[in-house]
Structure 1
Amino acid sequence: MARLELDGVSKHYGDFYAAREVTLDVAEGEFLVLLGPSGCGKTTTLRAIAGFVEPSAGTVRIGGKDVTRLPPWKRNTGLVFQNYALFPHLTVAQNVAFGLEMRKVSKADAATKVNEALRLVRLDHLGDRLPRQLSGGQQQRVALARALVFRPDVLLLDEPLSNLDAKLRNEVRVEIRSLQQRLGITTVMVTHDQEEALTMADRLVVMSEGKVRQVGSQRDLYERPADRFVAGFVGRSSFLEGHMSGDTLTTPGGLAIKCARKIAGEAVVALRPERVFVGTEPVTTADNSFPGEVEFVSYMGGLIDIHVRLSEHDQVIAQVPNHDGSVLPAVGDRVHVGWAPTSAVFPAEHNGMDG
């Protein structure tokens, strides 16, 4: 394992920047996840680390060594591609051994290393099979074994679970995280899946339009988002906009919302759905209580989302647990929602001045 550093890494094609001044410091043994929508720059950043994209500017260092201009085979990184990129005509063992052959490892040493790698991913009994004879989860583990077989300093994962069904994704991500912790290998993973990122990462990097928007723990990003984009992308939020005077936000729809901070000027608050109470009577336990009409109900098994229209301009989502015997409101029902002042999160940008 090794420390990974990116210092002002940019990649542009003409006037278009796929990545812009990305600066990151990944500690030895850390699991860092690059999270963002398609086209945000996360895969370009990952491929710049791997050596498949040459930065237009900036520096990539692995273990303190500048590898910015080195080709992929001269930097000790292992990459798991999104589509696994297995050779269909080679057996599992031959696929895993391919990188060792490129590094001129002797056949005897290669056989030992391949067996060790396959044992790590619990596929040592399937070395003679072809990729088409394996399940999707098994193919993913072959690709992981191939990336680990030469013990890289940094493991790179490019949306490695995107081709798996939901149940298998849950199982394999636990396997990957457990293996990474056991080996203590520095790892960078790219994903657009929030749940995947939140459950696997030591730290998250949220990206948009080629830029890093925020770096931090899951709690940092959820509780203290740097801007509206982060608040909307990490978890879900209802956004309420208006004019702040003291600790009260007045929205265009006429709501007077009590907040935990005093801000002067135009502002926006983000309200997490699990922190909104909903009932048939006014919520007397919350400083903010408003009547509204149910516009949509989304049944998700253990949780239920209730979309409530409070005014022509204002809507919130309440998320409630699905308890035994729960009575759910229907579309068109009149309800009351409420939340505490501390439940309204202020993204850092566009929020006037503290009063």
Structure 2
Amino acid sequence: MARLEIDGVSKHYGEFYAARDVSLDVAEGEFLVLLGPSGCGKTTTLRMIAGFVEPSAGAIRIGNKDVTRLPPWKRNTGLVFQNYALFPHLTVAQNVAFGLEMRKVSKAEAASKVEDALRLVRLDHLGERLPRQLSGGQQQRVALARALVFRPDVLLLDEPLSNLDAKLRHEVRVEIRSLQQRLGITTVMVTHDQEEALTMADRLVVMNEGRVRQVGSQRDLYERPVDHFVAGFVGRSSFIRGEMHGDTLTTDGGLAIRCERQIVGKAEIALRPERVFVGATPVEGLGNSFPGEVEFVSYMGGLIDIHVRLSEHDHVIAQVPNHDGSILPSVGDRIHVGWAPTSAVFPAGDSASEG
């Protein structure tokens, strides 16, 4: 394992910037996740680390060694591709050994390393099978073994779970995280799946339009998003806009919402759905309670989302646990919602100022 430093790295094609001025410092043994929508620059950044895309500017260092202009095979990074990129005509063992052959490792040493790598991912009994004879989860583990077989300084994962079904994704991400912690290998993973990012990462990097928007722990990004984009992308939020006077936001729809902060000017608050409470009568003791009309109810098993219109301009989503005997509201029902003043998050970037 090694420290990874990305210093002011950009990649442009003509006037279009796929990544712009990306700077990250990944500690030895850290699991860093690049999170963002399609086209945000996360995969371009990963491929610049791997050496498959040459930066237009900036520097990349692995273990204090500048690798910016080195080809992939001289960087000692292991990359797991989104589609696994297994050779269909080679056995599992031969697929895993392929990188070692390119590095001119002797056959005896390669055989030992392949056996160790397959044992790590619990596939040592399937070495003679072809990829088509494996399940999706097993193919993913073969790709992981191939990336780990030469003990890379940095492991790179390009949306490695996107081809698996939902249940298998849950299982495999636990396996990957456990293996990474056991090996202590520095890891960078790309994903657009928020749940994957929140459950696997030591730190998250949220990207959009080629830029890094925020770096931090899961709690940092969820509790203290720096802007509207992060608040909307990491988890879910209901956004309400209006004018702040002291600790009260007067919304565009005429609601008077009490907040913890005291600021002046136009502002926007974000409310997380699990912090919005619902009731048939006014919600007492929280500081904010408003009547509204149910617009949509989403049943998700253990949780229920209730979309509530509070005014012509204001609506919120409440997420409530599905307890035994829970009575679900129906579309068109009149209910009350409430939340504490401390539940309102002010994403940075609004025009309000501290009062």
Please say whether Structure 1 and Structure 2 have the same fold, judged by a TM-score greater than 0.5: yes
In 2, Cα distance between equivalents of 1:287 and 1:172: 43
**Which residue does 1:340 correspond to in 2?**
340
Please tell me whether the aligned partners of residues 268 and 351 of structure 1 are also in contact (alpha carbons under 8 angstroms): no
**Which residue does 1:36 correspond to in 2?**
36
Deviation at 1:351, TM superposition (A): 4.2
**Which residue does 1:201 correspond to in 2?**
201
Uncovered stretches (5+) of structure 2, i.e. residues with no partner: none
Determine whether 1:326 maps to 2:314: no
Alignment of 1:254-333 (within 5 A): 254-333=254-333
1:75-134 CA-partner distances (Å, limit 9, x unpaired): 010000000000000000000000000000000000000000000000000000000000
Residue type at the aligned position of 2:233: F
In 2, Cα distance between equivalents of 1:351 and 1:216: 24
Uncovered stretches (5+) of structure 1, i.e. residues with no partner: none
Alignment of 1:205-244 (within 5 A): 205-244=205-244
Q: Alignment partner of 1:25: what SS? A: strand
Please tell me whether the aligned partners of residues 43 and 190 of structure 1 are also in contact (alpha carbons under 8 angstroms): yes
**Which residue does 2:72 correspond to in 1?**
72
Instruction: Quote the RMSD (CA, aligned, Å).
Output: 0.4
Residue type at the aligned position of 1:51: G
Q: Alignment partner of 2:59: what SS? A: strand
Residue type at the aligned position of 1:288: N
**Which residue does 1:189 correspond to in 2?**
189
Stretches of 4+ aligned residues off by more than 2 angstroms: none
Residue type at the aligned position of 1:283: V
1:306-354 CA-partner distances (Å, limit 9, x unpaired): 0000000000000000000001110000000000000001111114211
TM-score computed with the length of structure 1 as normaliser: 1.00
1:254-284 CA-partner distances (Å, limit 9, x unpaired): 0000000011111000000000000110011
Question: Which stretch shifts more, 341-350 or 27-36?
Answer: 341-350
**Which residue does 1:146 correspond to in 2?**
146
1:171-194 CA-partner distances (Å, limit 9, x unpaired): 000000000000000000000000
Residue type at the aligned position of 1:10: S
In 2, Cα distance between equivalents of 1:185 and 1:278: 45
Please tell me whether the aligned partners of residues 263 and 351 of structure 1 are also in contact (alpha carbons under 8 angstroms): no
- Aligned-residue identity in percent: 87
1:185-221 CA-partner distances (Å, limit 9, x unpaired): 0000000000000000000000000000000000000
In 2, Cα distance between equivalents of 1:152 and 1:284: 57
TM-score computed with the length of structure 2 as normaliser: 1.00
In 2, Cα distance between equivalents of 1:177 and 1:36: 20
Q: Alignment partner of 2:47: what SS? A: helix
**Which residue does 2:95 correspond to in 1?**
95
Q: Alignment partner of 2:173: what SS? A: helix
Residue type at the aligned position of 1:87: F
In 2, Cα distance between equivalents of 1:249 and 1:65: 52
**Which residue does 1:104 correspond to in 2?**
104
In 2, Cα distance between equivalents of 1:252 and 1:82: 44
Deviation at 1:285, TM superposition (A): 1.6
In 2, Cα distance between equivalents of 1:263 and 1:68: 46
Q: Alignment partner of 1:262: what SS? A: strand
Q: Alignment partner of 1:261: what SS? A: strand
